[in-house]
Structure 1
């Protein structure tokens, strides 16, 4: 991919600038002269486009011209807007099973009592409500200062999982069910070796409900308490520290051992996207996703508002009609959800996305879907619902990255792969996050935060070779290699449950 621009599909009526273009520069494919300066990653008309005409990228509609656009003119928010589409879902028409990998690969993971394997071994302090958040942090701080933690060589650390909800909500609606799934899912994530559950006592999300008749964890390595019953802050910290010590000692008994990479579950994410996201990092991650699926692993695509307008590309890959229909049902739920909250599905792209060259949610979604590769869609799940199948699946979530990742981890993700074109500095304890840069400039500028540069695809590296590089990093990180965000200490502030419903 060298030269001034690239056309991604023969039917496109635009090209993407591969560098900042000045007036008079010629497009690489159509040889049209550019009529004004166009930033790197932005779109240029490669033929005359009439007002009202559909604009194509990836061979798909990304919007409708709002004015006449002459060949060589910049296409962006000033002359392109959403278009009404009648999508052909064609359920399962393009579902093709990928060949099984020829070689059996392993990683060094932590075996759990339910047969799953973790990539990390954290001990977590899980809160039922915002009111117990500070006390959970006090317990974690006391544990970090203790003599005993340093001696537990198989424990990766203490993670206080605090949030801003758990009360002031209904105890029987969709919002309650979603939070319940999220907290329960974190308690059972294979990257956590033990749990201390801390509540206030009078909240809507009651501790006995979370513990449940089936118990919080199958291995029984959990303790729970409330501040009100224990006698206040100091007594709770003292008692909590003793309980945490017991949990951590048991968690430390588990050691890394060889595990098939079919036991890896990866959440696929993108944030701070730019126009290169759908050209470099997302397709490369999609290739890596296919490789993991071929080895029997699981990858989770999410961010429902950011597949809107491209969902037909997924329904056509659905393994069954029912799976495809379930995805459309989630899209319809979002249309109703945004309408009753006086929002709209096209509230994206963000200002940063637009500076990077993205104009409509259709364009952003088409690039985002590329993270999911080509594997059949094997399942569709609600936010934080346990993933009970292998292969490529979809989990419903907002497009807000920390919230979406929270749902994926609650659903069982043991790694997160995150593509970004503008830059991202976040982590997701207890699950390591791998950052993939879409362009050379941002990678060089934020190299201390980026794990892999996919911008060199523009320079000639193949998507397949980059995908294999990402796949090998999956295995290395799953076996204990630290990511850049882990090395910097991120992950303590990114637990963001999805709050649905009224705050009362």
Structure 2
């Protein structure tokens, strides 16, 4: 790409290029001589050569689908002439697992050291619910605590977070859905960004409080209390008891202060939502650079959204540290193929209307851009949704592509930071874990700068290198982990984004 180019061809083998601005019919890109036969919006694809019907369409040097009709050089390539088609992958297990060199300088951040050895980036009190039926009471307790000024005496606590949801009952007690919810709630109960937890159930639900706490040291610091509404004698008495318990938990949590910790204690969940044609060019690969920097420090980064790596999974299996790890990922892909089929869905229905307006056509194209968030580090392990992550390095956690649900799993697995790339302008936050928003294009960043933490669109508009932007993102990781607020925190997000993955029949 030259400075005057209106298009960018991402790989020499590609037969499409990406429009860097809206292109009118008949407009000629001077450096390449390519003449647009149709109007092409910014972020969308334009054919750079003739593509016969049934032939592969290539972006990033990879197949993103097949031509549904003959495509001429200069044609707009999108849903009208590009389809999924059949695709097979050479998994090449562990054939490209090249370790990253350790960082020359080890960095630190200021965090909250917990009794189990982990380090938090925030110090909240959580009111965790076992079932939807205790959600309102949890909110009542949080509201009563705020009105009473309970935290005025505890300056080291960031706030009180009621964690409510829409499940916990009307489900089988011994299946995959139950096990997934159990992992999720347990993960939040012991998360290092909580200085203490109050767990509230109704009493008669399937997900019993006794099952969550029975015989297991959920928190090594002892900062967990639990009760059920039925046992306490109803709403008012539960609120009164809850306030008393919160004060006791707050006294423990307030003793924690920020202290230096190695960056190896950071666990980053990586997400993309509201993706566009720029996602795989700017924010996602820049986040991949930052992910590698964190891995080089001995930290952990998590890629998820299994339905949004579909068609690009071969790029990850080749980087797996072993064939066993690579096959774990493919096992989850096969699970998803079955899961979508029995629920009358299909893997290629993932690109949303907003994704398509932004220039993405097939799940293959979307996935190839999404995988760029993972950088170049070897794939060290594959985990189930909400499973506790104990492996350092780059890992994968199985999840849906639905962003709030996927982030919920990453936090349950231990993520104490979230980085979220967006091209259309996703707005959300995920207490207790701060979420850094990365804009893929400068136009959206200018419109929504109050919601976006970093503009990655200047990779295109100003020629900023991916390496430089990756370093900027990494430095923000350290600042946010040390207490600097993200835009979503300033706006107060986090009240409705706890979304456990509901698997199985609701009965």
Same fold (TM over 0.5): yes
Query: Which residue of the partner structure matches residue 492 of structure 1?
Result: 495
Partner Cα distance (2:279, 2:404) in 1: 19
Count how many residue pairs are aligned between Structure 1 and Structure 2.
Answer: 504
| Larger displacement relative to structure 2 (29-38 or 90-99) | 29-38
1:28 Cα deviation from its structure 2 partner: 5.9
Partner Cα distance (2:309, 2:340) in 1: 15
Query: Which residue of the partner structure matches residue 116 of structure 1?
Result: 118
| Inter-CA distance 9–81: structure 2 relative to 1 (3 Å threshold) | same
User: If the length of structure 2 is used for normalisation, what is the TM-score?
Assistant: 0.99
Partner Cα distance (1:147, 1:414) in 2: 27
2:438 corresponds, among 423, 436, 440, to 436
| Larger displacement relative to structure 2 (196-205 or 218-227) | 218-227
| 8 Å contact kept, 1:52–1:64 | yes
Matches within 5 A, 1:402-417: 402-417=404-419
| 8 Å contact kept, 1:5–1:29 | no
Matches within 5 A, 1:104-183: 104-183=106-185
1:424 Cα deviation from its structure 2 partner: 1.2
Query: Which residue of the partner structure matches residue 461 of structure 1?
Result: 464
1:311 Cα deviation from its structure 2 partner: 0.1
1:206 Cα deviation from its structure 2 partner: 0.3
Partner Cα distance (2:276, 2:368) in 1: 12
1:150 Cα deviation from its structure 2 partner: 1.7
Query: Which residue of the partner structure matches residue 388 of structure 2?
Result: 386
State the SS of the aligned residue for 2:35.
Answer: coil
Query: Which residue of the partner structure matches residue 482 of structure 2?
Result: 479
Query: Which residue of the partner structure matches residue 266 of structure 1?
Result: 268
Partner Cα distance (2:487, 2:208) in 1: 37
State the SS of the aligned residue for 1:274.
Answer: coil
1:92 corresponds, among 91, 94, 99, to 94
Q: Does 1:420 align with 2:415?
A: no
1:177 Cα deviation from its structure 2 partner: 0.1
State the SS of the aligned residue for 1:223.
Answer: strand
Partner Cα distance (1:421, 1:275) in 2: 8
Matches within 5 A, 1:271-420: 271-420=273-422
1:31 Cα deviation from its structure 2 partner: 1.9
Query: Which residue of the partner structure matches residue 70 of structure 1?
Result: 72
5+ residue gaps, structure 2, are: none
Query: Which residue of the partner structure matches residue 197 of structure 1?
Result: 199
Partner Cα distance (2:250, 2:163) in 1: 16
State the SS of the aligned residue for 1:458.
Answer: helix
State the SS of the aligned residue for 2:52.
Answer: coil
Partner Cα distance (1:181, 1:147) in 2: 33
5+ residue gaps, structure 1, are: none
| 8 Å contact kept, 1:7–1:29 | no
Q: Does 1:214 align with 2:216?
A: yes
- Tell me the C-alpha RMSD between the 2 structures: 0.8
Q: Write out per-residue CA displacement over residues 205-248 of structure 1, whole angstroms, 9 at most, x where no aligned residue.
A: 00010002123212111100000000000000010010011001
Partner Cα distance (2:151, 2:97) in 1: 49
Partner Cα distance (1:164, 1:28) in 2: 56
| Inter-CA distance 29–362: structure 2 relative to 1 (3 Å threshold) | farther
| Inter-CA distance 501–314: structure 2 relative to 1 (3 Å threshold) | same
Query: Which residue of the partner structure matches residue 55 of structure 1?
Result: 57
Partner Cα distance (1:108, 1:125) in 2: 25
Partner Cα distance (2:147, 2:247) in 1: 12
1:29 Cα deviation from its structure 2 partner: 6.0
Tell me which stretches of 4 or more aligned residues in structure 1 moved more than 6 Å: none
Partner Cα distance (2:25, 2:233) in 1: 72
| 8 Å contact kept, 1:108–1:258 | yes
Partner Cα distance (1:151, 1:364) in 2: 49
| Inter-CA distance 87–27: structure 2 relative to 1 (3 Å threshold) | farther
State the SS of the aligned residue for 1:194.
Answer: strand
| Larger displacement relative to structure 2 (441-450 or 205-214) | 205-214
Partner Cα distance (1:106, 1:141) in 2: 36
1:167 Cα deviation from its structure 2 partner: 0.1
Partner Cα distance (1:217, 1:259) in 2: 20
State the SS of the aligned residue for 1:164.
Answer: coil
Q: Write out per-residue CA displacement over residues 112-164 of structure 1, whole angstroms, 9 at most, x where no aligned residue.
A: 00111000000000000000000000000011112331221110000000000
Partner Cα distance (1:500, 1:169) in 2: 9
Q: Write out per-residue CA displacement over residues 287-309 of structure 1, whole angstroms, 9 at most, x where no aligned residue.
A: 00000000000000000000000
Q: Write out per-residue CA displacement over residues 30-71 of structure 1, whole angstroms, 9 at most, x where no aligned residue.
A: 422001111000000000011100000000000000000010
Partner Cα distance (2:222, 2:62) in 1: 51
State the SS of the aligned residue for 1:312.
Answer: helix
Partner Cα distance (1:152, 1:39) in 2: 53
Matches within 5 A, 1:25-64: 25-27=27-29, 30-64=32-66
